[in-house]
Amino acid sequence: MSALTLVDVAFMGDGSSPEEIARTARLMGFKAVAVDGLKDYLRIDGVSLIPRHTFTDPIKGTIPKGNVLRVFRCVDPEAFKLTNKVMTYAHAVELGGKMLGKLGRKNARKLANTSVPVIIRASEVYDALVRGRSLSGLATLLKLYEAGKIMLSMGSGSRVVKEVRHGITLIAILTTLGLSEAKALVALTTNPKTLMERAGYAIK
């Protein structure tokens, strides 16, 4: 359905073979996928598979060097600390769990002031919508993004290959949540590409 360069910045690899991930990504319209736990960059069947590393502790923990998309994941508003380590090493901050329910004014201000790129997972958004959970934190994020104060990217957030959704579906969910079509499109194309470039991969 799409001739766009859609990029998935959040595929949480579950041990599926790279060939299978690439095949699914191609079917779902993605030209590049950041896969958590992947060791090296791979290009299979026209799809770029980029290694991604997620860390949840903003102070401790080892961070791999080299061309890896490094993401600081935060699921609790209380634990949201943009330490030096996060600001130096992380290419983006991934917000999920309770953060989507309640972001908090202080955290929203932090995000806007530091202008750190933000990633959200579509799987979590769908899960919250289907279960009827609050998404006021996400609404705040989308407002900030619409106002041009933060850079937002959306990834599929799939844990298994079966959970990957089509890129157009992800654009549609952002549009129905109140984003303009142009901004929703950028969150799946330009912004993830910029993130990949920061990680050292040029996506054409």
Shortest spacing between CB 164 and another protein, in angstroms: 8
By the 8 A CB rule, do 64 and 40 touch?
Answer: no
- Answer for which of 41, 108, 126, 139 binds another protein (CB under 8 A) is 126
Smallest distance, Å, CB 78 to another protein?
28
CA angle at residue 138 from 132 to 143, to 5 degrees? 135
Q: Can residue 9 be called a binding residue for another protein (CB under 8 A)?
A: no
* 4 makes contact with another protein (CB under 8 A): no
Number of residues that bind another protein (CB under 8 A): 22
Alpha-carbon gap, residue 67 to 27, rounded angstroms: 26
Check residue 122 for interaction with another protein (CB under 8 A).
yes
Identify which of residues 46 and 132 has a Cβ nearer to another protein in the complex: 132
Token pair of 48 as six digits: 């770029």
Q: Is the dihedral of CA 54, 122, 195, 146 positive or negative?
A: negative
Nearer to another protein, 178 or 200 (CB): 178
Residues 49-108 that bind another protein (CB under 8 A): none
Please give the backbone phi and psi of residue 180, each rounded to the nearest 5 degrees, phi first. -75, 155
- Please report whether residue 3 would count as binding another protein according to CB under 8 A: no
Q: How far apart are CA 203 and CA 162, in angstroms?
A: 25
Residues found near another protein in the complex (CB under 8 A): 1, 27-28, 122, 126-127, 129-130, 160, 162-163, 165-166, 168-173, 175-176, 181
